[in-house]
Amino acid sequence: MARVVVVGIDAASWNLLEPWIRDGVLPNLKLLVEGGAYGPLESTYPFITSPAWKSFSTGKNPGKIGIFYWFNFDKESKRIVFPNYTKHLELWDVASFHGMRSMVVNIPLTYPPKPISGVMVSGFPVLEHQEYVHPKHLKKHLYEKYNYRVAPKEHFSNPKSVSDVKSVIESRLKLAIDNIEYYNLTCIGLYYTDAIQHYHWDNRELLMDLWEFIDDWIGKIMGSLGEKDYLIVFSDHGATELKSVFLANMWLREMGYLHFKKDPFKPGLSLRTILKTFGLSREKLVRVFFKLNKVLSPLITEKTLLKNLGAPYESEYGEIGIIGVLSAVDWEKTKAIVIGEGDLYIIADNREEYEDTLTRIIREVEKYCNGKIRAKTKKELYSGPYVSNAPDIVLVPSEGYMVSDHMSRSGRIWVVRDNYKSFHIKNGILIINGPSIQENYKTSNAKIYDLMPTILQILKLPIPRDVDGRVLTEVFKTRTEPATRPVKYVDPLKFRVAGLRSKLKAKTRERV
């Protein structure tokens, strides 16, 4: 039976890779492109890591899984809430249900690891001390044999971090290559490429070195596969040079939509201001945390890390993330707020006020930004049971721009960050190579949630009927088995019932 290996590379982008592929700098990617199907892969809205990776694994738009950013905003309680990253049916769940074994390594938002048939090593966000491996006993093996770490030690702004990122990537790929033969489905996530590109987009020599390293390992994966096997390489979104950043909450404040009870930059007796007194900026604290990760991780919970080492700290540019000053927001007067990188929530007392505020913000922000930022409503972008939790407006940056929820001491609405060189674009990359795939075939209309049903079709497995993605039938050679076999859809309830039964059996075994 054919095996499928999927390598997801965060922020891999054709505008960076295509010249190197064409010139033979990346020979293995060139072989995959010339011998298979390739093209742009449309991401989610917003084109951010968290919703995009979950849309890949579930085949669904964010409105069906409730993940719109790393965290969401609850308009009722006025608090940040964390969605359940692993509650929805994913690619490897379907494979497990049908008796297939999967190896899932470092895919973002897979903590806690699911008890799939096979192995799961959770990806970001996760800390070293957590139980991020299924089965649990394999964690020690990962440390001893592969020197496995959940994150690099060096902060990404340091050019030396590239060698550290290479070491982390190598541990993931070596683990996968050593064990590919035992699994029907292997999914590997290379996450920190995005972070390196953010800080070093203008250093092409450094980036070429990193991508030559990745290309070499992709060649090793190719060498471990048989003639019947498939290899898929994709990215969650693309990247390009960053020109400037739109501080959306500064604009909302100027326009009278966002109000504060007190100055968010006014010093107070807080851990942030105390540490700032000693010259410890957010960036310095992050670097210290990276270096002391093994010591600090068992002592710091995720909530504590978010609260005390995250957005509340003023950056070197005099900016504070909005979640650090939510307690200072005057909710009686506030009508809109942006959380994250473009998720705008409207605070209204009634439907009429909501619609009026929505219409005015869309009109005013698009006029102010003059094409650099577009505003899309949740009705335009999403469908499903979680649309009510979605941001009311998503501020979508044009290529070269970024939306941020930060407040700025300078009072500026548009800022340039000298050390932040790139940001995301909507289209990532897609390469599919295998015995039934057309050669040197350019795709044009693939979306990230098409991958899950396409992989299931290759594996001869039925597809849950509630997915949004489609099988990319155009990539298959005519008269090959995946092309001629009818796509089979099944009721997703079938998998949910089976999942409940397996949980009950597991609990029974624990009691016994």
Which range has highest mean pLDDT (97-101, 315-319, 498-502)?
Answer: 97-101
If asked whether residues 253 and 347 sit together in one domain, one would say yes
Count: domains in the chain? 3
Out of 98-107, 286-295, 490-499, which region has the weakest mean confidence (pLDDT)? 286-295
Task: Read off the tokens for 222.
Answer: 């190719």
Average pLDDT, the chain: 88
Asked whether residue 508 is domain-assigned, the answer is: no
Note whether 352 and 391 are same-domain residues: yes
SS3 content of the chain, % helix, strand, coil (to 5): 40, 20, 40
Full domain range(s) for residue 408: 244-265+318-419
Query: Do 361 and 275 belong to one domain?
Result: no
Angle at 398 between CA 67 and CA 404, to 5 degrees: 55
Residue type, 234: F
Structure tokens at 421: 């060189």
The SS3 of residue 107 is strand
Task: Confirm whether 30 is domain-assigned.
Answer: yes
pLDDT at 509: 40
Can you tell me the mean pLDDT for 435-459? 97
Q: How many CA atoms within 13 Å lie on the side-chain side of 87?
A: 7
Predicted local distance difference test score (pLDDT) of residue 495: 75
User: Is there a domain that residue 512 lies in?
Assistant: no
Work out the average pLDDT over 103-116.
Answer: 95
The CATH number that applies at residue 70 is 3.40.720.10
Residue after which a domain boundary falls, among 419, 438, 453: 419
Residues 251 and 379 in one domain: yes
Q: Cα–Cα distance between 237 and 42 in angstroms, integer?
A: 7
Residues 289 and 354 in one domain: no
CA 410 to chain centre: 31
Q: Do 217 and 94 share a structural domain?
A: yes
Looking at 284, 313, 342, the residue that finishes a domain is: 313
Strands 118-122 and 133-134: antiparallel
Residue 182 maps to a domain: yes
Tell me the CATH number at 399.
3.30.1360
Secondary structure (DSSP) of 412-477: -SEE--TT--EEEESEEEEEEESTTBPTTEEP-SEEGGGHHHHHHHHTT--EETT------GGGBP
- Confirm whether pTM is higher than 0.85: yes
* 271 lies in the same domain as 187: no
> How far is residue 220's CA from residue 206's CA, in Å, rounded to a whole number?
22
pLDDT tens readout for residues 444-453: 999 999 999 9
Name the residue with tokens 């009634």.
350
Last residue of a domain, one of 367, 402, 419: 419
